[in-house]
Amino acid sequence: MTNTHLKLDGLAKSYGNFIAVEEFSLDICEGEFIAIMGPSGCGKTTSLRMLAGLETADRGEITLAGKRIDQLPVWERETPMVWQSLALFPFMTVRENVEFGLQMRGVARAERRRRADDWLERLGISTYADRNVARLSGGQRQRVALARSLVLEPKVLLLDEPLSALDAHMAIKMQGELKKLQRELGITFVYVTHSHSEAFSLADRVVIMNLGKVEQIGSPQDIFLRPRSKFVAQFVGGISLLEGKVLGREDSKRFLNTRDGKVRLSHSCGLAEGAAAVLAVRADRISVTITPGWGENEIACTLVSEEFAGAVVNLHLETASGHSLVAQLQQRDLEQLDASIGARVYASWHSDDGFLLDRARQSLPGTKVRAA
Amino acid sequence: MPPHLKHALPIAFWVAGLALVFILLYAPILSAVLFSFSADRFPSLSMSGFSTQWYAQVLTDRAMLEALWNSLTVAGFTALIATALGFAAAYADYRFRFFGQKAVLALALLPPTVPLVILGLAMLAFFSRIGIAGTLAAVVAAHVVIAAPFAMAVCRLRLAQLDRTLETAAQNLGAPPHSALGRIVLPHTVPAILAAFLITFAVSFDEYVISWFTGGLNQTIPVAVLTTLQGQVDPTIHVIGTLSFTVTLTLVLIALAVVLRQSGGAMSKEETS
């Protein structure tokens, strides 16, 4: 991943008064796996459609391998797409579906068949080559959709929620296959999804969008551990936010004055005294005890509810000022805690585990998480 | 039988009712078929014998043969033009979303609801003004107006079953618009286009009022039949009725078979997917 291969520069798209994409810029390297994620209506699909030429951008440029493509019509873009509905041609056989793009490029019959059969073989569906696509299972149809695009040997493959039609088990299996395929081929994947697990487990970089704007671009770890805005923190989930004002230094330590008391900030924070700030702490870094005096930053809370999530349990807490916190505990630790709903507990964390959100992004509209 | 009908009227009642409807519908037609083979000059149930003489008379009647030829020509051209227009209109409605779409659709489907006498008279006035009244071309033009909505309706039904993404997907794979239309939309719509052709042919072949107003001396079969009837009761009418009925019925049955086969196929596809 060295050079910029696919460049989206200032793309924007409105429909009448509705702004679908306000501003979208992204430099994608060759062979990178990019996931674009966000709630419904955030502009992720519109961005992908602009890339494919299915929507004309109002502003902005798209460059692929040094060549400007945003003014090319759909059929000349070489950006095949795997559709949410798959959009397989229903009255054609599997092989005819895969050969379609090659035929449109004027590839001779024998060559077309050889290349299509190669891909059917590679994706393990050569047994069904002569079958009508309507008579395939979900996973097989998914593979036909992939083969149909990949047979064109594109530099970029676009995927629009490609696994949403599959059942959970099959979707996870296909996730693994997609990642493997992408690594082997070394081509760029641009993958739109509303699923955290798909985006985080597949992508090299994740783009989080909200209300037509990019909120954050970064590696899954970056976004998971260091969300920059309230929106991202809430969208990713499992993060407690505390608002307050930065206090002056005391013995080289810095503190944030919140409505629930003073909490210590990590050394890396560089905000001036008196600045408004939002402190974020991951749920798995918060400890919960029934007696005070265990941790460095401690806030008295009421245990509001428990949410069972497999090996771990999420505890929802409420501070005296009515603020919500979430803590993630192992089952074992919960048993030791022995607190019932409504009990008084103490939430604490190490100051190095707290981080301040990017100030420039704190006052963005739409910090409320909409249904994904 | 559905449970809610169980204690209602006995099934024999429904069967009898249905039979009565069919008898009332088809008895006059069957009587025409029957009398067309009668040896008598006047239709009566005490037929003196079986004969094909009236068929021989019709098939040698130059005026009737000319009318038949006119009808076939008019119906053929009408079906071609109406189907092309109907498909184009249905495709535009399927493919694009535009302001006033519902209004355009309503306007396109409107003509068959206008009383034929009014349509015929208005057409005659218009055609004589532009100087084509009394020609077969005028009859074709008028028939296209009433037939095209049927073609559009049939094509729309079929297109509604086609995922709109498919055409875009074809373009995304490198197909220019005309290829995407030809390779994806048309193959899917062919049965409907065929059905639309047959139905519009039948509509034109049977149509009397507009043909009478606009055709002038160029009589189509229905006009010729009515003209003959005004002069005398001629047993050849039964022959023409039988032949026309056979032609129309055949066309409609083929259209029906095509439409039923396509939707049957679509259904079995959905089951397996």
Beta bridge partners of A93: A132
Domain count, chain A: 2
For residues A14 and A109, state if they share a domain. yes
Measured CA distances, A242 to A1, A245, A261 (Å): 37, 10, 10
Which residues from A are below 8 Å from B187, CB to CB? Answer: 91
Which residues from B are below 8 Å from A52, CB to CB? Answer: 172
Distance (Å, whole) CA A278 – CA A290: 26
For residues A190 and A303, state if they share a domain. no
For residues A16 and A159, state if they share a domain. yes
Domains, chain B, ordered by start: 56-266 (1.10.3720.10)
Q: Is the dihedral of CA A321, A323, A324, A328 positive or negative?
A: negative
Q: Are the beta carbons of B165 and A87 separated by less than 8 Å? A: yes
Chain A CB within 8 Å of residue B173 CB: yes
User: What percent of chain A has a predicted confidence (pLDDT) above 70?
Assistant: 94
Q: What are phi and psi of A88, to 5 degrees?
A: -75, 150
Q: Domain for residue A247, yes or no? A: yes
For residues A258 and A275, state if they share a domain. yes
Measured CA distances, B176 to A72, A200, B167 (Å): 12, 36, 10
Which residues from B are below 8 Å from A79, CB to CB? Answer: 172
pLDDT band for A359, please (50, 70, 90 cuts): low
Q: Which residue has the higher pLDDT, B76 or A357?
A: B76
- Domain boundary (A187, A206, A225) is at A225
For residues A235 and A354, state if they share a domain. yes
pLDDT in tens, A191-232: 999 888 899 999 999 999 999 999 999 999 999 888 988 899
Q: Is the pLDDT of residue A369 over 60?
A: no
pLDDT number for residue B266: 44
Distance (Å, whole) CA B122 – CA A342: 84
pLDDT band for A364, please (50, 70, 90 cuts): very low
ipTM: 0.81
Q: Domain for residue A371, yes or no? A: no
Q: Is the dihedral of CA A159, A160, A161, A163 positive or negative?
A: negative
CATH classification at residue A80: 3.40.50.300
pLDDT number for residue A53: 93
Q: Domain for residue A98, yes or no? A: yes
State the DSSP H helix or E strand holding residue B66, giving kind and residue range, or none if neither.
helix B62-95
Q: Domain for residue A36, yes or no? A: yes
For residues A240 and A330, state if they share a domain. yes
Q: Are B113 and B119 contacting, i.e. CB atoms less than 8 angstroms apart?
A: no
Beta bridge partners of A280: A241, A355
- Domain boundary (A209, A225, A241) is at A225
For residues A221 and A307, state if they share a domain. no
Name every residue in A having a CB less than 8 A away from some CB of B. Answer: 52, 54, 73-81, 83, 85, 87, 89-91, 100-101, 104-105, 132, 134-136, 148-149, 152
Distance (Å, whole) CA A178 – CA A79: 17
pLDDT number for residue B142: 95
For residues A174 and A138, state if they share a domain. yes
For residues A46 and A75, state if they share a domain. yes
Distance of CA A5 to the CA centre of its chain: 21
Q: Is the pLDDT of residue A270 over 70?
A: no
pLDDT number for residue A321: 87
Distance (Å, whole) CA A239 – CA A260: 17
pLDDT band for A366, please (50, 70, 90 cuts): very low
pLDDT number for residue B1: 53
pLDDT number for residue A103: 95
Instruction: Show the low-confidence residues of chain B (pLDDT under 70).
Output: 1-8, 262-273
pLDDT in tens, A275-306: 888 889 999 899 898 888 777 888 989 999 98
Q: What is the mean pLDDT of chain A?
A: 88
Distance (Å, whole) CA A311 – CA A331: 6
Residues whose CB falls within 8 Å of the CB of residue B262, separated by 6 or more in sequence, listed in order: B158, B191, B192
Q: Give the domain extent around A313.
A: 230-361
- Domain boundary (A225, A249, A278) is at A225
Residue B232 is classified by DSSP as: -
